[in-house]
Amino acid sequence: MTTHEPSPNSGFDARHEPVLVREVVALLEPRPDGTYVDCTVGLGGHTAALLAAGAGRVIGLDRDAAALARAGERLAAFGPRVDLVHADYRDLTHVLSARGAGPVDGVLADLGVSSWQLDDPARGFSFRANGPLDMRMDPSRDRSAAELIAGVDESTLADVIFKFGEERHARRIARAIVRARDRAPLVDTSTLASVVRRAAGGRGWQRIDPATRTFQALRIWVNRELDGVDTFLESAVASLRAGGRLLVIAFHSLEDRIVKHTFRRLTDESPGVRALTRKPLRPGGDEVDHNPRARSARLRAVERVVAVV
C-alpha cells in the first residue's frame, strides 16, 4: 500500500469488515492497467482493498442504494478510479456494455446480506431487534416480506421455508404463520420470530435461535437470491479477458452448491476455463475470532485462460 492511498478500512467499524480480503487481493492480483468489477460492493471494503493494492479501475455494483451511498463516501478519495452503479449483480453484462468496459480483468461477487444490513433494524433482516418485516436488499423494488406473507398460501410458504431454510419443521411453522396472519397482519420481525419459535418447539439451550432458518428462507425468497446465479456466473466468465478471474464468496450451502456445480460444469465443458480453488477457501481462525460472521464464508475462483470459451 502506498502512503498516499487511503486505508481500505479507515473510519469504518470492524463489524463491517469484508471477509477473506487477503485471499481476494491475492487471487485477483490487481494491476494499474486493469479493470475489475465488485458485483456486490456493499460498504466498499473489498473495492477499497483492491484499489489500495493497485487496481487501476473498479466498477462497483449494488442493488442497495443506501449501501452504495455509504460506499461512495468511503471510496471518494480514490476519485475516478472507482465507478459505483445502482444495479443488481445479475445485470453485469448490461452494466459493462453501457460503460464500454469489457472485457475485464477480474470479477468479484460476495453474495448474501452485509453486516450493515443485518444490524439495521429498519431493514427487517434480523429478529435480534424489532423492525418492520421488510427484508428487501433494494427497498425501491418488489414486495416486502410482510406483503409476500400476507398473500401466500400455506403450502407454498412451507415449501419456501423447507427449500431455502432447510427447516425440518417447515409445515408446522407455515401453518402457524398463516394462522397468525389471518388473525392480524404480520408486520414486524419480533412478532414473526415469536410465532416461529412457538411453532418450532424445542426446550432448553439450542445452538441457533429456532427462528434463524425461517428468517433465512424468507430473506432468500424476498430477494430471489438463488434465481439466476448460474446464469450470472456464466456471463461473468464471458466478460473476462484471457487471464481474467472470477471470485465468488458464498455464505450458505444452497448458494455455494450452485457456485460449485456451475464452476465444475464450466471447467468441464471448456478448456478455456480452469479452477483456481480445488476446495473453497475458508477464513482462518484469526479472522473468525475478529469477525465471527466470517465463519461460514466460502470462496471459489476460476480463471478464463483463453480469449474464446
Residues 296 and 255 in one domain: yes
What is the domain-level CATH number for residue 257?
3.40.50.150
How would residue 12 be classed by pLDDT, with cut points 50, 70 and 90? very low
Q: Is the pTM above the cut of 0.85?
A: yes
Give me the residues paired with residue 61 across strands: 85
Query: How many independent structural domains does the chain possess?
Result: 2
Among the candidates 172, 192, 223, a domain finishes at 223
Q: Residue 238 corresponds to which cell in the numbers above?
A: 464471458
How would residue 1 be classed by pLDDT, with cut points 50, 70 and 90? very low
pLDDT the model gives residue 113: 74
Within a domain: 185: yes
Asked if 173 and 198 count as a contact pair (C-beta separation under 8 A), the reply is no
Residues 232 and 104 in one domain: yes
Among the candidates 182, 205, 223, a domain finishes at 223
pLDDT the model gives residue 308: 47
Share of the chain above pLDDT 90, in %: 76
pLDDT the model gives residue 109: 97
pLDDT the model gives residue 203: 59
What is the domain-level CATH number for residue 197?
1.10.150.170
Print burial letters for 96-135: b (CB count within 10 Å at least 16), e (below 16).
beeeeebebbbbbbbbbbbbbbbebbebbbbbeeebebbb
Q: Residue 149 corresponds to which cell in the numbers above?
A: 406473507
Positive or negative, the CA dihedral 187, 193, 194, 198 is positive
Q: Domain range holding 154?
A: 126-223
Mean pLDDT of 227-231: 95
Within a domain: 19: yes
- Would residue 17 be called left, alpha or beta, if left means φ above 0 and alpha means ψ between -120 and 50 degrees? beta
Give me the residues paired with residue 106 across strands: 36, 245
Distances in whole angstroms, Cα of residue 60 to Cα of each of 51, 68, 251, 273: 12, 9, 20, 24
Share of the chain above pLDDT 70, in %: 92
Residues 215 and 232 in one domain: no
Within a domain: 58: yes
- Which of residues 149 and 123 earns the better pLDDT score? 149
